[in-house]
Amino acid sequence: MAEKVNLEEKFSLFGEHWRPKVVGELNGQEVKLVKLLGPFTWHHHEDADELFLVVKGRFRMEFRERQVWLEEGELMVVPRGVEHRPVADEEAHVLLFEPSGTLNTGNVRNELTAPEAQV
């Protein structure tokens, strides 16, 4: 049975940063919500493209050779294998779309590596 998801309501259910929460699944992909604050880890995903959609706030996606600011209502797809690092100077709410089981820190495991969680 199809169920709607209220993004504002789901974001209100958690406060931690860099801990994605799964809110939907389709065709082997997961829809995740995450709150960003501060710099993340430089990483890449060998076998997965990632979509970032800014729901609230803004952040910059850093690449080794450039950076791109993403504002509310904007999205970016980071292709597989591309090293990147999201950085949010103020809290940003972001929707992620990526293959099921994708580790948030990609090829790196550290204190920001998050277990998969539902909200």
DSSP letters, 72-118, are TT-EEEEPTT--BEEEEEEEEEEEEEEETT--TTTT--STT----EE
The answer as to whether 2 is a domain residue is no
pLDDT (average), residues 20-42: 96
The model's pTM: 0.92
The answer as to whether 1 is a domain residue is no
Give yes or no for residue 116 having a pLDDT over 70. no
In three-state secondary structure terms, 18 is: coil
Domain count within the chain = 1
Q: Residue 86's domain spans which residues? A: 7-118
Digit-coded pLDDT (tens) for 83-95: 999 999 999 999 9
Q: CATH number for the domain including 23?
A: 2.60.120.10
Mean pLDDT lowest among 52-61, 73-82, 93-102, 110-119 = 110-119
> So what's the pLDDT on residue 89?
98
The answer as to whether 62 is a domain residue is yes
| Model confidence band, residue 119 (pLDDT cutoffs 50, 70, 90) | low
Digit-coded pLDDT (tens) for 32-65: 999 999 999 999 999 999 999 999 999 999 999 9
